[in-house]
Amino acid sequence: MTPNTPQPITYKDAGVDVDAGNAFVRNISSMVKSTFTPGVMDNFGGFGSLFRLDAERFRKPCLVSGTDGVGTKLQVAIMMDKHDTVGIDLVAMCVNDILVQGATPLFFLDYLACGKLSSIRSEDIVSGIAEGCRQASAALIGGETAEMPGFYPDGKYDLAGFVVGAVDEDRVITGSDISKSDIIIALPSSGIHSNGYSLVRRIFFTEHNKPLDWQPEILARPLGQTLLEPTRIYVRPILSLLETVAVQGMVHVTGGGLSENIPRILPPDLDAFIQTDALPTLPIFDLIQEMSHLPFAEMARTFNMGCGFLIVVRKEQVHEAMASLEQAGEQPVIVGEIVRGSGQVQYGG
């Protein structure tokens, strides 16, 4: 080149390192393949992912899809510089949603967007996604990593997940068969799960200026670790339950808490009566309420209050349902029943 020849401006100069991206894909290949199930037609790195639906497993299959993210819980992960659990949250938020309709998760896809690709951090994120997929028995068969300099600030990233499952058409659970006197069983949450973190961060970090290593007596671990506890995945115990009991309806308690999620499955002439003193509440919710002075009604329309997943069964099948869940390693709790009403949640006790 002569001195006056313009220097080429490469993609790497613009902030996107293609070679680093290729190395990242190679590094995560073993994690991804560890989630593969018999339906996967291995095409890792291709333009599309292939999955063979087992015709013997589903007689009249209905595909059920879901998508979600992790919300501002990611900000806590960034503050803690700990990124190996938010992937579990990502999978949980998606698979628990389609589980409500009785669907078996089949495969999962993820989207990771960042300003600059950090191979160590990104591999930690994918390790969590892979762990979540293994817990859900879903194959991680595709994904996208988008390096977007100038759009995301350094150190920031976002996640989105997508799941596809299947259920026989005559076994889809909608809640339409829920009847008066049905019983509501709760499966405990592991904590806040992945909702309400904008409020949580406001309470602890803005209003009270608490450090991540703060550990009041009520908590078993420091605040940061408590807030990063991953969302529970309920796939295995629920699918086992569906083989033994005729479940009338199910609820994944996510954004909107108990008060906003339960009505999504209720017939218009029925209410869910929740016994508040039966809720398997956790210390983190007591602490949030103490520091925010929120009334129970506001807490219950924001958080899961210790109930990550709800199951509605006939009264005569309660003992069988409880036994199935306990055998699967759960600690189910009866928290209420179905009563006459108008499609709302009542609280008492």
Does some domain include residue 207? yes
Question: Residue 120, exposed/middle/buried by CB under 10 A (0-12, 13-18, 19+)?
Answer: exposed
pLDDT at 318: 98
pLDDT per residue over 63-80, tens digit each? 999 999 999 999 999 999
pLDDT at 56: 84
CATH (domain of 148): 3.30.1330.10
Question: Residue 346, exposed/middle/buried by CB under 10 A (0-12, 13-18, 19+)?
Answer: exposed
98: domain range?
18-171
> Last residue of a domain, which of 110, 145, 171?
171
Q: 22 and 80, same structural domain?
A: yes
pTM of the model: 0.94
Distance between CA atoms of 92 and 160, rounded to whole angstroms?
12
Q: 127 and 227, same structural domain?
A: no
Q: 190 and 159, same structural domain?
A: no
Does some domain include residue 282? yes
Q: 267 and 243, same structural domain?
A: yes
- The DSSP secondary structure of 171-210, one letter per residue, reads G---STT--TT-EEEEEEPSSSTTS-HHHHHIIIIIIS--
Q: 292 and 148, same structural domain?
A: no
Q: Which of 255, 36, 51 is closest to 165 using CA atoms?
A: 51
Q: 206 and 96, same structural domain?
A: no
Q: Which of 69, 86, 74, 79 is closest to 205 using CA atoms?
A: 79
Does some domain include residue 6? no
Does some domain include residue 138? yes
CATH (domain of 277): 3.90.650.10
Does some domain include residue 177? no
> Last residue of a domain, which of 171, 204, 225?
171
- To the nearest 10 degrees (0 to 180), the angle between helices 18-33 and 119-136 is 30
β-pair partners for 41? 50
Name the stretches of the chain with pLDDT < 50: none
Does some domain include residue 11? no
Question: Residue 223, exposed/middle/buried by CB under 10 A (0-12, 13-18, 19+)?
Answer: buried
Does some domain include residue 139? yes
Determine contact, residues 102/172, Cβ cutoff 8 Å.
yes
pLDDT per residue over 213-227, tens digit each? 999 999 999 999 999
Q: 215 and 161, same structural domain?
A: no
Q: 199 and 342, same structural domain?
A: yes
Query: DSSP alpha helices (H): ranges in 117-192?
Result: 119-136
Amino acid residing at 215 = Q
> Last residue of a domain, which of 142, 171, 200?
171
Determine contact, residues 24/123, Cβ cutoff 8 Å.
yes
Residue 25 to residues 14, 19, 49, 127, 162, Cα–Cα distance (Å): 21, 10, 15, 12, 19
pLDDT at 287: 98
- Token pair, residue 9, equals 């401006």
Q: 190 and 332, same structural domain?
A: yes
Q: Which of 243, 244, 241 is closest to 310 using CA atoms?
A: 241
Percentage with pLDDT > 90 across the chain: 83
β-pair partners for 309? 187, 252
Q: 318 and 187, same structural domain?
A: yes
pLDDT at 45: 67
Relative to beta strand 183-188, strand 61-69 is unpaired
Q: 136 and 32, same structural domain?
A: yes
pLDDT at 349: 82
Q: 343 and 267, same structural domain?
A: yes
- The DSSP secondary structure of 61-116, one letter per residue, reads EEEEEEEEE-TTHHHHHHHHT--SSHHHHHHHHHHHHHHTTTPEEEEEEEEEEESS
Does some domain include residue 90? yes
pLDDT at 117: 87
Domain count, the chain: 2
pLDDT at 119: 81
